[in-house]
């Protein structure tokens, strides 16, 4: 027996919405999905008339749906945006090279200019080369730190006003969980923010913050949007995977859990006497940092000096390693100088 | 043709789920005759025994699909159709879409 659409439009429903439990037909689902993203954008005042917005595009479902729906809403509600695509090529053979083809398809389908920036251009290393140095245990640290900064650099290069990322409700809930598990209070406090703005960096916005992954996939399916899906060839060891499985198991029992976790994150307040890292700018690259030398520069220094573990672990450990390195260098410099004096 | 005579189905995998099925997205299959009607629950066992190429735990968990894999029958969410208990009809199109793969 077909179920009829909860909106009483007379059509048969095609899906059950996880967030509300409503059964909707295709057209009513599209409308609900798009209207919710619109109200998220309006409620969070994510854009201004005339903004140039870079959509961080990976070729995956989230960024493909984001690019599509932003274009549609911009036309429907006259946001007055100029939308461009920005992709980061981490240099992962068999993963990113294929998905970038999908981004090129997005560029043609949605008529948006595309810029691709590679880790190789930005940092001198591909992820494949980094994995060769560090192995498969901490490689996601490099990739995540570099990607965040690569988007900032790309956004500055394109002189855009905002960067829109495809983070969905499931991603945010997962991040809340991970920050709880790691005891990372600073990130826990800011990870649910719909827009992040800090001194000297271009604001990031998350228009799909309240959109369930299931609905993104259903939307892409019913709209026949082309996206690329694969597992990162290095990802199986990532901590995030465990948080994700846990969340999906919970969601099966109680679909509202995703919104509930986001809500918990949003409502959380941190006592005044909890010490927070202050955000400063990196003395090397000038981008936002929580230490004198930012994580990306530290990781890069480690790679370039043949000490890939330099930026892994606690800050105090990094400082100790760096101090040892400097005293060893000073010793070898003075040895060279005194050797030079003899001749 | 009813469940008792066997069924022809189109089974599809996408969103990354096809990676567990030798990257083949579309499978035209004929299910054998059965005294008990073919439900999705029974189909999952059949898929595990006949189509699944690797890592069964990435597709099936606790006799159902792994949480995060969406199921559509003739383009309708299986959550509207009784999920595991849905009785398959001849020429049904059953689609499995993974949401667990990134971009």
Q: What is the pLDDT of residue A161?
A: 96
Establish if B1 belongs to a structural domain.
no
3-state secondary structure labels for all residues of A86-114 = EEEECCCCCCHHHHHHHHHHHHHHHCCCE
Cβ count near A323 (within 10 Å)? 10
Helix (H, G, I), strand (E, B) or coil at A204: strand
Q: What is the pLDDT of residue A36?
A: 97
Establish if A234 belongs to a structural domain.
yes
Q: What is the pLDDT of residue B1?
A: 47
Same domain, A121 and A206: yes
Same domain, A98 and A240: yes
Q: What phi and psi, each to the nearest 5 degrees, are found at residue A234?
A: -105, -10
A255 part of contact set with chain B, CB < 8 Å: no
* Residues spanned by the domain of B15: 8-98
Tokens at B46, concatenated: 């059949």
What are A15-69's pLDDT values in tens digits? Answer: 999 988 999 999 999 999 999 999 999 999 999 999 999 999 999 999 999 999 9
Single pTM value for the model = 0.88
| Contact list, B97 vs chain A (CB under 8 Å) | 217, 221
What are A286-331's pLDDT values in tens digits? Answer: 888 888 888 899 999 999 988 888 878 777 888 888 888 778 777 7
Least confident piece of the model among A24-38, A99-113, A135-149, A329-343: A329-343
Establish if A303 belongs to a structural domain.
yes
The set of residues, in sequence order, having a beta carbon less than 8 Å from that of A160 and lying 6+ positions away, is: A52, A53, A54, A84, A86, A202
Q: What is the pLDDT of residue B45?
A: 95
Same domain, A230 and A305: no
Contact B80 A62 (CB under 8 A): no
What are A184-243's pLDDT values in tens digits? Answer: 888 898 889 899 876 667 899 999 999 999 999 999 999 999 898 877 777 654 677 788
d(C-alpha B80, C-alpha A254), whole Å: 17
Q: Which residue of A has its CA nearest to B65?
A: A252
Domain end marker among A215, A241, A274: A274
Is A88 annotated among the ligand-binding residues? yes
Minimal CA separation from A203 to chain B, in Å: 22
**pLDDT band, very low/low/confident/very high, at A169 (cuts 50, 70, 90):** very high
Written as one string, the DSSP assignment of B19-49 is GGGTT--EEEEEEPP-SS--BHHHHHHHHHH
d(C-alpha A39, C-alpha A195), whole Å: 15
Establish if A137 belongs to a structural domain.
yes
pLDDT of A273 > 80? The answer is yes
Same domain, A141 and A290: no
Is A249 annotated among the ligand-binding residues? no
Establish if B2 belongs to a structural domain.
no
* Strand pairing report for A288-289 and A280-281: antiparallel
Is A50 annotated among the ligand-binding residues? no
Q: Please give the angle made by the CA atoms of A114, A116 and A121, to the nearest 5 degrees.
A: 155
Q: What is the pLDDT of residue A342?
A: 47
Same domain, A128 and A168: yes
pLDDT of A283 > 80? The answer is yes
Total domains, chain A: 2
Helix (H, G, I), strand (E, B) or coil at B88: coil
Same domain, A214 and A85: yes
| Contact list, A2 vs chain B (CB under 8 Å) | 76
Is A58 annotated among the ligand-binding residues? yes
Establish if A33 belongs to a structural domain.
no
ipTM of the complex: 0.92
Minimal CA separation from A252 to chain B, in Å: 7
Mutate to test the interface with B, among A15, A66, A166 (most CBs of B within 10 A): A15
Q: What is the CATH number of the domain that holds B45?
A: 3.10.20.30
Establish if A282 belongs to a structural domain.
yes
CA dihedral A51, A57, A62, A67 (to 10 degrees): 40
A289 contacts A295 by C-beta, under 8 angstroms:
yes
* Residues spanned by the domain of A311: 277-325
CA dihedral A146, A151, A156, A160 (to 10 degrees): -170
A20 part of contact set with chain B, CB < 8 Å: no
B66 contacts B59 by C-beta, under 8 angstroms:
yes
A295: Cα within 13 Å, side-chain hemisphere: 18
Minimal CA separation from B32 to chain A, in Å: 25
Total domains, chain B: 1
d(C-alpha B102, C-alpha A216), whole Å: 12
Minimal CA separation from B15 to chain A, in Å: 5
Task: Report, as ranges of residue numbers, the positions in chain B whose pLDDT lies below 50.
Answer: 1-3
Give the helix/strand (H/E) hosting A304. Answer: helix A295-304
Contact B79 A12 (CB under 8 A): no
Could you give the percent of chain A with pLDDT greater than 90?
A: 54
Laid out side by side, the sheet with A114-118 consists of A114-118, A82-89, A52-56, A162-164, A204-205, A195-196
Same domain, A148 and A81: yes
Establish if B103 belongs to a structural domain.
no
Same domain, A105 and A180: yes
Region of A283 please: left (phi>0), alpha (psi -120 to 50) or beta. alpha
Q: What is the pLDDT of residue B4?
A: 57
Minimal CA separation from A220 to chain B, in Å: 10
Q: Which residues of B touch A (CB under 8 A)?
A: 14-16, 19, 66-68, 70, 72, 75-77, 79-80, 97-103
Domain end marker among A210, A245, A274: A274
Same domain, A249 and A286: no
| Contact list, A23 vs chain B (CB under 8 Å) | 80
């Amino acid at each position: 027996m077909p179920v009829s659409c909860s909106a009483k439009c007379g059509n048969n429903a095609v899906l059950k919405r996880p967030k509300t439990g409503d059964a909707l037909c295709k057209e009513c689902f599209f409308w609900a999905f798009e209207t919710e993203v619109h109200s998220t954008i309006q409620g969070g005042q994510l854009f201004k008339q005339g903004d140039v917005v870079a959509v961080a595009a990976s070729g995956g479902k989230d960024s493909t749906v984001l690019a599509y729906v932003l274009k549609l809403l911009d036309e429907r509600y006259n946001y007055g945006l100029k939308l461009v695509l920005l992709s980061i090529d981490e240099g992962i053979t068999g993963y990113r090279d294929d998905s970038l083809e999908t981004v090129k398809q997005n560029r043609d389908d949605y008529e948006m200019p595309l810029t691709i920036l590679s880790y190789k251009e930005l940092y001198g290393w591909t992820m494949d080369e980094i994995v060769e140095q560090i192995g498969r245990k901490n490689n996601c640290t490099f990739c995540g730190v570099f990607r965040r900064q690569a988007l900032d650099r790309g956004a500055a290069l394109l002189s855009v006003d905002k960067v829109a990322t495809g983070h969905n409700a499931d991603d945010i809930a997962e991040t809340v969980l991970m920050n709880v598990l790691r005891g990372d209070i600073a990130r826990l406090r800011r990870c649910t923010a719909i827009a992040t703005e800090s001194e000297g960096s271009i604001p990031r916005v998350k228009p799909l913050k309240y959109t369930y992954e299931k609905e993104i996939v259903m939307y892409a399916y019913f709209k026949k949007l082309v996206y690329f899906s694969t597992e990162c060839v290095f990802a199986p060891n990532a901590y995030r995977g465990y948080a994700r499985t846990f969340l999906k198991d919970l969601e099966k029992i109680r679909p509202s859990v995703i919104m509930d976790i986001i809500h918990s994150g949003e409502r959380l307040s941190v006592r005044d006497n909890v010490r927070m890292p202050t955000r400063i700018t990196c003395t090397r690259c000038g981008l936002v940092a929580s230490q004198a030398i930012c994580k990306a520069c530290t990781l890069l220094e480690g790679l370039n000096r043949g000490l890939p573990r330099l930026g892994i672990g606690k800050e105090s450990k990094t400082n100790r390693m760096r101090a040892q390195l400097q005293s060893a260098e000073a010793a070898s410099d003075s040895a060279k100088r005194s050797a030079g004096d003899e001749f | 043709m009813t469940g008792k005579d066997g069924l022809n189905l189109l089974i599809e995998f996408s969103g990354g789920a096809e990676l567990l099925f030798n990257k083949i997205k579309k499978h035209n299959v004929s299910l054998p005759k059965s005294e008990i009607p073919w439900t999705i629950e029974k189909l999952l066992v059949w898929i595990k025994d006949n189509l699944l190429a690797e890592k069964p735990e990435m597709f099936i968990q606790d006799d159902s699909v792994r949480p995060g894999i969406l199921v559509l029958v003739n383009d309708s969410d299986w959550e509207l159709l009784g999920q595991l208990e849905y009785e398959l009809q001849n020429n049904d199109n059953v689609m499995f879409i993974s949401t667990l793969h990134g971009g």
